[in-house]
Amino acid sequence: MIRINKSGYLYIALTVIIGFSAVNTGNNLVYLIASALLSFMLVSGLFGRNNLRNLEVEVVFPDEVFAGTEALVGVRLRAVRRWWPAFLVTVSLGEDELLFPFLRARSQDEQHLPVLFGRRGVFSLSAVSIRSSFPFNFFTRYRNLAVRSEVLVFPKPRRCDSWALSGDLQRRSGEVAVDRMGYDSDILSIRDYVPGDPMKYINWKSTAKTGSLKTKELAAIEERPVILDMDRPRAEDLEWLLSCATYWVLRLTRSRVPVGLIMGGETIRPGVSRAHRRSILERLAVYDPNPRPD
Amino acid sequence: MIRIRDLINAVTYLCACLGYLAVARHIGWASTAGFWLLFGAGAFRDFNRTFVVPRWLLNVISLSVLSVAFSRVRLDYLVEPVLGGLIILVGIKLLEDKRNRDYLQVLGLCAFLLVGASLLSIHISFLVNYALLAFLATLALILLTIHSHSPVLVLDRGYALHCLLQAVMICAIAIPASGAFFVILPRTNYPLFTFLSKASGARTGFSDSISLGQVAAIQEDDSVIFRAEMIQIDEDQLYWRGIVLDVFEGRAWKSSRPESLDTVPAMGGRTVEQVIYLEPYGNRVLFALDRPVTIWRQERGYEREVTRFREPVLERVRYKAVSNPRAFLPGPDKEPEDPRYLQLPEDFSLQIRELVSELAPFHGRMERVVALFNHLRTRDFSYSLDELPVSSTPLEDFLLVHKRGNCEYFASALGVMLRISGVPARLVGGYRGGVYNRSGRYYLIQQKNAHVWVEALVPGYGWMRLDPTPLGSEFGPLTPIAGVWGRMRVLMDTFNHYWIKFVINYDLERQFRIVRGLRDQWRRADWRLEPEKVPFRGVAVAAGGAMLMAGAILLFRRRRREPERELVKEFLRRMKRRGYVKGEAQGLEEFAAAIGNAELRERAHRFVEEFQEIYYKDQTLSGDGRKRLRAIIRSL
């Protein structure tokens, strides 16, 4: 698509005036100037078209995108051509635009754009629009480029009271000592000192009793897993609940509390890994209480 | 590193210079001085950023300049004042604190200056100015486009060079392409504003009468009067006939049938065809090689025979002529002789009459002619452009006292003496000689070739051409132009000739002719295939050429496609030959790992590793990398 700019209208007017003078003076040199104006218009069109050809755009989203929070989206423009550089290419992503002033042939450039997603869910981008006024600012040429980019936007994390999600969240959460060696909780046993044991774990009482250095062995502490039950009927708005759940998933996993999820009759067992957290967030992002029948 | 604004300023100032050069010859000193003053001030301002002149003040000045310019406009002096005003406007624009649109306005004004210049002069130097201005304007427009997107941009060398390259490429395509537009743009036979075109002011040189004894010296004029496209002929036949001067008034020769070129019927023998491109010279006389048989001219789409122009020639004219180049032509042998060829003023110089009776006491007409002619060819008489006799009796002074003069004196003297001795005689005005341009196949005839000779009516011979002027004296061009400078001039004139032939003289009629030609060719073309008519060799060469071309394009395209993908394809082809086919869902690494042959597997691994190192780390495939990968593929 081509849009004529203000200077383009002036150029066309100039061409028409000089063309008119050429016909009406019968002067071949004026004809020559009119011809030049026309041919420059044509050639600038060809160059403009060429400028937008053989370009590839890749949109790179960050790993985790939350609704209502600005995410830095990377836009990579690649010139898949042998000789000619690309000039003044503007890539539009919705309302936002990025200008790539100059891109050499067979090279790429990346710029970042803060993007705000209003709601959770899957956002797929199948095309971006690029445009350029090169070589002359008379016409702006537009082109849509196919991109295959999909981003899953997680619900907006919203701070909320824990009871909103689960009545026993508060009651059940907390630290428990587990039957495993660690450095945190009760004494499990006392053993002989091994060089390298920290001084603070030396049990002075036993050392005094036995005359040889003794070291305490302590139990490890583990967080008690939390399961977010979304299926329990509640009065609150679903989106609010999903936001609240997101908040808790983030908060608990950050403090290494295993989190599980019950949603739509499906249960995800608690876990603390990054992949686990992601899978819970993905489910929260795409949750639809009334799925359309296929 | 260059600031884009500085670059735009530099290019814009150059454009302004070119605009000035285009019109420099046609504007007054005040405009010139004003322009350079503003130009200097603007340049100082732009490159030092010292002061800002308020825009309103400049607007007021612009308006005043325009009013002054328009107040000087007259119908016959229309373009020059406007150009003077425009050049000042360019200067004012340069002085302004320029925004993008101001730069565009400067470029637009330069375009108008070029248009104005083309109305006043049609010299080929226009083409140089036009091409340079087109290039600089293209560069300026590219830079302005970049500037409008990022005003504070600083260009590195590479970026600046690429901009320059783009401008060169655009011009390299657009300027030749404008030739195509030039051919097809609509034309009319009835332009409305012809009064604007003054490209061809009248020029002096040839005159339709001869007055003797009025000037002491004649300046040689190098300007071109016409070019004649024709074959090369003997130099002594190069007499370009213009006008017959048959009325003698004591000191001047005039024509009783002014502005009419008398043609003769074809008399057998060799004829020479000429296409003549006559420069505007302000007279109505046609010229053609002596003796012209017919002359045609295209008028309003028709070709018609002519012997004169209806209007003084104020623009370049093209016409065709056919001539019998010979010194004799049959005269009215049997008809009664026309008394006007014997006419002399009453009581014309007694001294000359005495001289004639002394020189030619013969009875035979031919003998008298020879005697009088030979008298002027003696050593006593010499050719001269200065120290000409200025008096009331110039012919007597020439014949009896000074014996120096130019062709007008020689021809007048012979003509008068012939008439006194009773031989019908007349003078013919035209041109003598010319330089043959072999590459352009035309004769170049300059104003300094202007010449007058005599024709005498001799029974049995007819009108006989007599040229009493000492040969080679006044016709520099008869001796070929020598030296590097001379050759350069001939070369330049060749360009100029083609410029006039193809550009300046292009009109509606030629446009039609091109269309008709194309249509005829299309119609005449025989599309049926007859085996005996097919030039097999030609077809074979053409087909071979086409195949080579197609191969080259394919190769080029293949290389253009991603080279990485090509390498992988080649790798997989090799492996297939060795019996290993990659599954669709198989990755390269996986595929390599599954190869049974240990040695092959090891090499395949090397390829895959090296390839992935390049491909997945977003590196570009360098020449070395490609060579290494190819070497591995070959070793498979």
Query: Which tens digits make up the pLDDT trace of A188-244?
Result: 788 888 888 888 888 898 899 998 889 888 876 666 788 888 887 777 788 888 888
Q: How far is A91 from chain B (nearest CA, A)?
A: 13
Q: Is residue A256 part of a domain?
A: yes
Cα–Cα nearest to A23, from B194, B317, B82: B194
Q: How far apart are the first and last CA of chain A?
A: 38
d(CA B464, CA B271): 18
Q: Are A107 and A51 part of one and the same domain?
A: yes
Q: Are B40 and B83 part of one and the same domain?
A: yes
Q: Are B228 and B129 part of one and the same domain?
A: no
What is the four-CA torsion angle of B477, B479, B482, B486, rounded to 10 degrees?
0
Identify the weakest region by mean pLDDT among B2-16, B237-251, B326-340, B587-601: B326-340
Q: Is residue B331 part of a domain?
A: yes
* Cβ contact, residue pair B175, A46, below 8 Å: no
d(CA B627, CA A121): 47
Q: What backbone phi and psi angles, to 5 degrees, belong to B568?
A: -65, -40
d(CA A162, CA B286): 110
Q: Are B170 and B227 part of one and the same domain?
A: no
Cα–Cα nearest to A102, from B163, B323, B601, B2: B163
Q: Which domain holds residue B11?
A: 2-194
Nearest to B145 among A39, A46, A135 (CB): A135
Q: Is residue B503 part of a domain?
A: no
pLDDT at A240: 87
Q: What is the DSSP string of B492-539?
A: HHHHHHHIIIIIIT--HHHHHHHHHHHHHHHHH---S--GGGS-HHHH
pLDDT at B575: 86
pLDDT at B473: 47
pLDDT band at A148 (very low <50, low <70, confident <90, very high): confident
Averaged pLDDT for residues B522-541: 69
Q: Are A216 and A164 part of one and the same domain?
A: no
Q: Are A36 and A170 part of one and the same domain?
A: no
Q: Is residue A294 part of a domain?
A: no
Q: Are A206 and A252 part of one and the same domain?
A: no
Give the mean pLDDT of chain B: 80
Q: Are A265 and A163 part of one and the same domain?
A: yes
Q: Is residue A95 part of a domain?
A: yes
pLDDT at B72: 78
Q: Are A105 and A34 part of one and the same domain?
A: yes
Boundary residue ending a domain (B436, B460, B493): B493
Query: What is the CB neighbour count within 10 angstroms for residue A241?
Result: 22
d(CA B197, CA B202): 13
Q: A-B interface: how many C-beta pairs under 8 angstroms?
A: 152
Averaged pLDDT for residues B233-257: 85
Q: What is the DSSP string of B243-294?
A: EEE-EE-SSEEE-SSTT--------SS--EEEEEEEPP-S-----EESSEEE
Averaged pLDDT for residues A277-292: 85
Q: Are A120 and A235 part of one and the same domain?
A: no
* Cβ contact, residue pair B179, A133, below 8 Å: no
What is the four-CA torsion angle of A252, A258, A262, A263, rounded to 10 degrees?
50
Rounded to two decimals, what is the model's pTM? 0.61
Give B445-469 pLDDT, tens digit per residue.
888 788 889 988 888 778 888 888 8
Q: Are A262 and A160 part of one and the same domain?
A: yes
What is the four-CA torsion angle of A249, A253, A258, A263, rounded to 10 degrees?
20
* Cβ contact, residue pair B146, A26, below 8 Å: no
Q: B331 or A116, which is more confident?
A: A116
Q: Check pLDDT > 50 for residue B355.
A: yes
Q: Is residue A129 part of a domain?
A: yes
* Cβ contact, residue pair B141, A47, below 8 Å: no
**CATH label of the domain that carries residue A79:** 2.60.40.10
Helix (H, G, I), strand (E, B) or coil at B491: helix
Nearest to A88 among B119, B146, B504 (CB): B146
Q: How far is B262 from chain A (nearest CA, A)?
A: 32
Q: What is the DSSP string of B14-29?
A: HHHHHHHHHHGGGS-H
pLDDT at A90: 92
Q: Are A19 and A144 part of one and the same domain?
A: yes
Q: Is residue B553 part of a domain?
A: no
* Bridge partners, B465 (sequence order): B455
Secondary structure in 3-state letters for chain A: CEEECHHHHHHHHHHHHHHHHHHHHCCHHHHHHHHHHHHHHHHHHHHHHHHCCCEEEEEECCCCEECCCEEEEEEEEEECCCCCCEEEEEEEECCEEEEEEEECCCCEEEEEEEEECCCCEEEEEEEEEEEECCCCCCEEEEEEEEEEEEEEEECCCCCCCHHHCCCCHHHHCCEEEEEEEEEEEEEEEEEECCCCCCHHHECHHHHHHHCCCEEEEEEEEEECCEEEECCCCCCCCHHHHHHHHHHHHHHHHHCCCCEEEEECCEEEEEECCHHHHHHHHHHHHHCCCCCCCC
Averaged pLDDT for residues B198-223: 59
Q: Are B189 and B246 part of one and the same domain?
A: no
d(CA B173, CA B206): 44
Q: Tell me which chain A residue has its CA closest to the CA of residue B186.
A: A23
Interface-testing mutation among A11, A23, A39, with chain B (most B C-beta atoms within 10 A): A39
Q: Are A85 and A214 part of one and the same domain?
A: no
Chain B residues in contact with A47 (beta carbon < 8 A): 166, 169-170
Identify the weakest region by mean pLDDT among B13-27, B221-235, B291-305, B366-380: B291-305
Boundary residue ending a domain (B469, B493, B517): B493
Interface-testing mutation among A30, A33, A140, with chain B (most B C-beta atoms within 10 A): A33
Six token digits for residue A114: 């803060």
Averaged pLDDT for residues B614-627: 73
d(CA B625, CA A108): 19
pLDDT at A154: 93
* Cβ contact, residue pair B118, A32, below 8 Å: yes
Q: Is residue B277 part of a domain?
A: yes
Q: Tell me which chain A residue has its CA closest to the CA of residue B145.
A: A137
Query: What is the CB neighbour count within 10 angstroms for residue B391?
Result: 16
Interface-testing mutation among A14, A15, A27, A99, with chain B (most B C-beta atoms within 10 A): A27
Q: Tell me which chain B residue has its CA closest to the CA of residue A37.
A: B178
* Cβ contact, residue pair A18, B104, below 8 Å: no
Chain B residues in contact with A27 (beta carbon < 8 A): 118-119, 196-197, 199
Interface-testing mutation among A31, A37, A91, with chain B (most B C-beta atoms within 10 A): A31
Give me the amino acid identity at B413. A
Nearest to A27 among B149, B158, B199 (CB): B199
Contact call for residues A89 and A107 (beta carbons, < 8 A): no
Identify the weakest region by mean pLDDT among A91-100, B526-535, B568-577, B614-623: B526-535
Q: How far apart are the first and last CA of chain B?
A: 49
Nearest to B115 among A21, A26, A82 (CB): A21
d(CA B518, CA B524): 10
* Cβ contact, residue pair A133, B145, below 8 Å: yes
Chain B residues in contact with A97 (beta carbon < 8 A): none
Give B54-63 pLDDT, tens digit per residue.
888 888 988 8
d(CA B218, CA B317): 27
Q: How far is A35 from chain B (nearest CA, A)?
A: 5
Give B555-612 pLDDT, tens digit per residue.
766 555 567 778 888 888 888 888 888 877 778 888 888 888 888 888 888 888 888 8
pLDDT at B25: 84
Q: What backbone phi and psi angles, to 5 degrees, belong to B305?
A: -75, 140
Chain B residues in contact with A85 (beta carbon < 8 A): 162
Q: Are B77 and B24 part of one and the same domain?
A: yes
Cα–Cα nearest to B388, from B206, B251, B213: B213
pLDDT at B165: 92
pLDDT at B76: 64
Q: Check pLDDT > 50 for residue A138.
A: yes
Question: Cα B353 to chain center, whole Å?
Answer: 52
Six token digits for residue B483: 């030296």
Contact call for residues A244 and A158 (beta carbons, < 8 A): yes
pLDDT band at B169 (very low <50, low <70, confident <90, very high): very high
Q: How far is A144 from chain B (nearest CA, A)?
A: 21
Q: How far is A294 from chain B (nearest CA, A)?
A: 29
* Cβ contact, residue pair B507, A10, below 8 Å: no
Q: Is residue B574 part of a domain?
A: yes
Identify the weakest region by mean pLDDT among A63-77, A121-135, A270-284, B435-449: B435-449
Q: Are B82 and B216 part of one and the same domain?
A: no
Q: Check pLDDT > 90 for residue B493.
A: no
pLDDT at B138: 92
The total domain count for chain B is 3
Chain A residues in contact with B130 (beta carbon < 8 A): 32-33, 36
d(CA B103, CA B141): 9
The total domain count for chain A is 3
Q: What is the DSSP string of B60-129?
A: HHHHHHHHHHHHT-BTTB-HHHHHHHHHHHHHHHHHS---HHHHHHHHHHHHHHHHHHHHH---THHHHH
Q: Tell me which chain A residue has its CA closest to the CA of residue B129.
A: A33
* Cβ contact, residue pair A136, B122, below 8 Å: no
pLDDT at B14: 94
Q: Are B168 and B230 part of one and the same domain?
A: no
Among all chains, which residue has been given the structure tokens 């504003």? B193
Cα–Cα nearest to B263, from B295, B240, B310: B295
* Cβ contact, residue pair A21, B193, below 8 Å: yes
Contact call for residues A225 and A192 (beta carbons, < 8 A): no
Interface-testing mutation among B136, B149, B187, with chain A (most A C-beta atoms within 10 A): B149
Q: Is residue B567 part of a domain?
A: yes
Q: Check pLDDT > 50 for residue A183.
A: yes
Averaged pLDDT for residues B84-90: 91
Chain A residues in contact with B179 (beta carbon < 8 A): 35
Q: Is residue B478 part of a domain?
A: yes
* Cβ contact, residue pair A32, B130, below 8 Å: yes
> For residue A16, what are the CA distances in angstroms to A19, B21, B115, B190, B279?
5, 25, 13, 19, 31
* Cβ contact, residue pair A87, B146, below 8 Å: yes
Q: Tell me which chain B residue has its CA closest to the CA of residue A19.
A: B185
Q: Are A18 and A80 part of one and the same domain?
A: yes
Q: Are B130 and B221 part of one and the same domain?
A: no
Strands (E), B125-223: 154-155, 210-211
Q: Are B55 and B145 part of one and the same domain?
A: yes
Q: Is residue B619 part of a domain?
A: yes
ipTM for the whole predicted complex goes beyond 0.85: no
Boundary residue ending a domain (B443, B472, B493): B493
Identify the weakest region by mean pLDDT among A242-246, B269-273, B504-508, B555-559: B555-559
Q: Are B88 and B221 part of one and the same domain?
A: no
pLDDT at B89: 92
pLDDT at B399: 87
d(CA B109, CA B99): 16
Nearest to A25 among B126, B162, B193 (CB): B193
* Cβ contact, residue pair A80, B193, below 8 Å: no
Chain A residues in contact with B194 (beta carbon < 8 A): 25-26
Q: What is the DSSP letter of B481?
A: P
Q: Are A168 and A141 part of one and the same domain?
A: no
Q: Which domain holds residue A184?
A: 176-223
Tally of residues, chain A: 294
Contact call for residues B295 and B307 (beta carbons, < 8 A): yes
Q: How far is A68 from chain B (nearest CA, A)?
A: 31
pLDDT at A26: 75
Q: Is residue A195 part of a domain?
A: yes
Q: How far is A43 from chain B (nearest CA, A)?
A: 6
Q: A127 or B22, which is more confident?
A: B22
d(CA A14, CA B137): 14
Q: Are B85 and B142 part of one and the same domain?
A: yes
Q: What backbone phi and psi angles, to 5 degrees, belong to B323?
A: -130, 155
Q: Are B219 and B101 part of one and the same domain?
A: no
Identify the weakest region by mean pLDDT among A130-134, B167-171, B401-405: B401-405
pLDDT at B476: 45
Cα–Cα nearest to B456, from B359, B353, B366, B517: B366
Q: Check pLDDT > 60 for residue A171.
A: no
Averaged pLDDT for residues B362-391: 81
Averaged pLDDT for residues B359-366: 82
